[in-house]
Chains A and B, each alone.
Chain A
Amino acid sequence: MSQSFRLENVGLINKNKKLSFKFNGKTYFGYEGDTLASALIANGIHLVGRSFKYHRPRGFFGAGVDEPYAIVQLFRNGETEPNIKATEQELFEGLEAKSVNCWPSVNFDIGAINNFLKIFLPAGFYYKTFMWPKSFWYKVYEPFIRKAAGLGVASIKHDKERYEHKYEYCDLLIAGSGPSGLASAYAAAKNGARVILAEDKARFGGTLLTSEVNIGNKSGKEWAEGIISELKEMPNVTVKNRSQVFGYYDHNMLVMSERISDHLPETKKFHPKQRLWYIRAKEVLISSGSIERPIVFGNNDTPGVMLSSAAKEYLKVYGVLVGKNPLIFTNNDSGYETAIEFKKNGIDSIILDTRKDPLSEIVEEAKNLGIKIKFSYVVVAAQGYKKVKSADIAKLSDDKEQLGKIENIKCDCICVSGFWTPTIHLASQSGNKTKFKEDIDAFVPGSSKQKEKTLGAANGIYTLDETLKSSFEAGHEISKKITNNDNKISFPNVVEKKSTTHDKFWCVPLPKGKNYKRFLDFQNDVAVSDIEIALKEGYRSIEHVKRYTTLGMATDQGKTSNLNGLQLVSKIENKVVPNVGHTTFRPPYTPVSIGAIVGREVGKHSKPTRKSPMHSWHEKNNAVFVDAGVWLRPRYYKKGDENLFEASKREAKNVRTNVGVCDVTTLGKIDIKGPDASELLNRVYTNAWLKLPVGKARYGVMLREDGIVMDDGTTTRISENHYHMTTTTAQAANVLSHLEYYLQLVWPELNVNVVSTTEQWAGAAIAGPKSRDLLQKIFPNSDVSNEGLPFMGYMEGDLFGVKARIFRISFSGELAYEVNVESDNGNYMWEKIVENGEEFRIQPYGTEALSTLRIEMGHVAGSELDGRTIPYDNSLEGLLSKKKDFIGKRSLVREAFNAEDRQKVVGVVPLDKKTSIPEGSHLVKDSNAPLPNPKLGYISASCWSVEHDNPFSLAILKDGKNMIGKKLFVMSPLKNKVIPVEIVSSHYVDPKGERVRS
């Protein structure tokens, strides 16, 4: 089809560049500068979708952000995106789009049967109809709704586009580049303020692009272009088009979504698709304009019924006629502007004005142009199913309640103007208490909570002269406050047509015997009758009516429906609109893509990756890595085609028989210095610290104030006032904050400093019966004998020219050491250990073997210290000092903590010595007991004991101390396992702890 609705020589589009695109599989042509909507209308396409509930045919209602109908599924460069407004999507070569909410096709839609069954779909239908019988929900209602409804399909593919986030600060953020935005930006910028001016559309200028005005002897459009090009040249100004400020958050933080590549066939190399701006503005000027209101009448959702301002915009910006036989239905002067534009392009329209021949400059002009006007007339109902074919019209009685004789007139579109609603969303989001403005029948911003001011039409000011004057002034005043400059701009002469008052008429009564649907919310299919039902059923609060009927709850947030809904409620309730109140506006003002919200924090970029200095050695030696918090740690080193189980068993076994080396760099390390360091440790740890000699390490447990174990680790006294604390990998950051809290706030009198040194030291654990032989070899000048470096001893040594710290501590239950060197020397240390360990059959071991070793020797770790256990539960009660107070001690006297049958850590072995026990399983007495089977405890950690060559687990078990030797059942409904087990001591290896001291 050719573009039979396109005008020659009209519009701001580039007619030299023809673009092809596909809609519902058919190829059409448009021009560069078109939106998908304007291009479709140029081709005579008005049927773009089906409505949400009744599946009635839907066309275009607006020309921009307020569009409730024309939502499509977009296909671009191999990707698909739902919930795209055809009125906002710019056309590009090769664009493809499809209708949504219709099945099997937009022309034949099975859900349209809902339209004839609408008696079953009244207000609250989600709550009522589908509630019974209950079993029908899953089998009948839900699948039906899912198939037939929905506003598009989310892609399940990985989004290959890039999205970015940007933080920005400015003196003044101005949202909207219409007359008030441009004037205030210009005045503020000329006065030295750092300004960001944001425009949602591709073109700057807002209504100046379509209105017949004159500013400083230029047309509105020319004036806007002049201001914008000047602003773009100024170093203190950032001007952004295709950028929607969609959220106003606390402390003047606003978020803006910039569509950088959405208008292009594909994203340019190194460009993001979209960018999210977090803008902290000293002051905000809201110049978001206003949105035309519909008038409610029968079948007012028929394709071809649209806002008169949209018809004008399609004509003036895109050179597109929305119809060739238009009917204009208005209660104010705006409809006449559209009629005059039609007339200028040779199209005769009929105006129905609800008013009685008002005195107005523009009405006179229309009369002089010979445009046919019917005063006190209304559209009763649109006729036509997939497109308007005619309109039933009637004369309105003086009291506006009665209709005269119904006449039918032919038309192919109905352009409606019910006056203007200020766009107060951003102001409302900021916490502004909005107020009702009687003369315009709408809410405007009231008293500010944050540093914002609303200008122009968004503030209910509908004349250009006043808008420009007040906006120049606002831009000047606010910038003066910030910059202390006082450069005033001379005010241009403004010529505009004078308008007269609108008629407060918004809803056409139903003619006798007719039951036309009169829609309020076009996207959620909420009609006048639905609101009436909700009120009849007793709903009063506007917030309740909204939720019950879903009025204003669609993705357009009721931009065109809110006020008419309020008018209706106020009329039925016999209240004035401000007493009904309006519902709260919440961000985002328009839908924002998930990709833009997530930004670059996708996959591996979602958190930093920390690697130890020995990482590349691990990689070269076939390490299989595991995420440990933000660290990457070797889980095991794969030999041949070993699996995890085989490899970790080999590695752990080698520690028990020869010697192994493990990268323990990730352990949290905190350097503690100061004359009161011992005192701090004594208060933080549960055991005594004042008498620890220099050169000795001690194991310590710290509690939260509520008595729960927070962390454990060894701390070493390096010198008189200097300690080296270690924490678990997971708790490192929390422990540092914990120490800082007590030092800064609770005990500021303690003279101590703490600092994290986790990344400053590389650590290697050398464990196994041959570890001393190896240590002696790499520290030939140090006495590392059992006497020279006893268990829990510390010394400094020389590792082939590198300074090292040597700790004799053990996590594995074997004779073991930890060597630390400065991180830069980590790899050197590691290579020296491996090289010299060869003769002792050294093997590196990963976290899986590390766990095996600690589990079978009964050393509690993160899975037991899980934020729910006290020292007793972990058999750590021996570390509780009776002589001194410490953090959390007072809580340990709580009754539950001292119950006779208090839970305690135990060992668990399957009776068949074969079946592995899943972690997280429950322990029960009787596997056949009726549900819920009383739980006695849970499996916290499991391994394959290399010492005993059978499965072994740790468990936290009720009355654990008296359960040793008892037989219980492990149950894992998730894994469908029931395993008979015996309870044993948690120390399954070397219960007397002789090896670590050997």
Chain B
Amino acid sequence: MLHIKCPHCGMRSQNEFSYGGDASVKRPELGKEISDQDWNNFVYNRKSLRGKHWELWQHLSGCRQWIKVERDTATHEIFKTLKANEEIS
């Protein structure tokens, strides 16, 4: 079970969180023209990387905040966690 540092609450066990996918995905702006290809990439296509990966988690059974977590998908090492409004560096 992973041990994730919620930037709001501190170290908590994985079972308080739910996984939310790739954090680098940006939703296209509302009302803007977008090609089928770009839209499909946003909705369906994910890289499923092996290695360092920024991903979203929600502290569901805690502060309910969505957070960004930099995790190695192969080793589960967590390098950094950020609040929703903090930019991935």
Contacts and interface: CB of A to CB of B under 8 A. Distances in A.
B75 A885 contact: no
Tell me if B's interface is mostly helix, strand, loop or mixed.
loop
Contact of B39 (A278, A449, A748, A890): A890
A746 interface: yes
B21 to A, nearest CB: 10
21 contacts: A167-B13, A250-B1, A250-B2, A251-B2, A251-B3, A280-B13, A449-B75, A683-B30, A706-B43, A737-B18, A737-B58, A740-B58, A740-B64, A741-B20, A745-B66, A746-B27, A748-B85, A890-B28, A890-B34, A891-B39, A891-B43
Contacts of B3: 250-253, 280
A744 interface: yes
Nearest to B4: A251
B56 interface: yes
Nearest to B58: A737
B56 A705 contact: no
Interface string A171-190: 00000000000000000000
Given A251-B76, A741-B58, A885 B30 contact: yes
Contact of A737 (B44, B60, B84): B60
A449 B77 CA distance: 10
Contacts of B10: none
Contacts of A886: 30
Q: How large is the interface on B (under 10, 10 to 19, 20 to 34, 35 or more residues)?
A: 20 to 34
A185 to B, nearest CB: 23
Q: How large is the interface on A (under 10, 10 to 19, 20 to 34, 35 or more residues)?
A: 20 to 34
A71 B32 CA distance: 69
Interface string B5-30: 00000000100001010000001101
Interface in B62-85: 64-66, 75-76, 78, 84-85
A893 to B, nearest CB: 8
A891 B58 CA distance: 25
A705 B44 CA distance: 10
Interface of B: 1-3, 13, 18, 20, 27-28, 30-31, 34, 39, 42-44, 56, 58, 60, 64-66, 75-76, 78, 84-85
A249 B66 CA distance: 25
Given A278-B1, A737-B18, A748-B84, A250 B56 contact: no
A431 B76 CA distance: 11
Nearest to B33: A890
A405 to B, nearest CB: 58
A976 to B, nearest CB: 40
Contacts of B75: 431, 449
Contacts, number: 55
Contact of B66 (A251, A741, A884): A741
A601 to B, nearest CB: 13
A385 B42 CA distance: 70
Nearest to A755: B64
A250 B39 contact: no
A224 B20 CA distance: 50
A253 B84 contact: no
Give 9 nearest A-B pairs by CB, closest first: A251-B3, A744-B84, A885-B30, A885-B31, A250-B76, A744-B66, A253-B1, A746-B27, A745-B84
Given A250-B2, A745-B56, A885-B31, A705 B43 contact: yes
Contacts of A885: 30-31
Nearest to B83: A744
Interface string A657-683: 000000000000000000000000001
Interface in A744-763: 744-746, 748
B76 A744 contact: no
A250 B27 CA distance: 32
A166 to B, nearest CB: 13
Contacts of A745: 56, 66, 84
Nearest to B27: A746
Among B3, B28, B66, the one with the most A-chain Cβ atoms within 10 Å of its Cβ is B66
Nearest to A704: B43
A134 B57 CA distance: 49
B56 to A, nearest CB: 7
Nearest to B60: A737
A249 B2 CA distance: 8
Contact of A705 (B20, B34, B42, B60): B42
A744 B44 CA distance: 22
Contacts of B13: 167, 253, 280
Nearest to B65: A744
Contacts of B42: 705
A741 B39 CA distance: 19
Contact of A249 (B1, B39, B64): B1
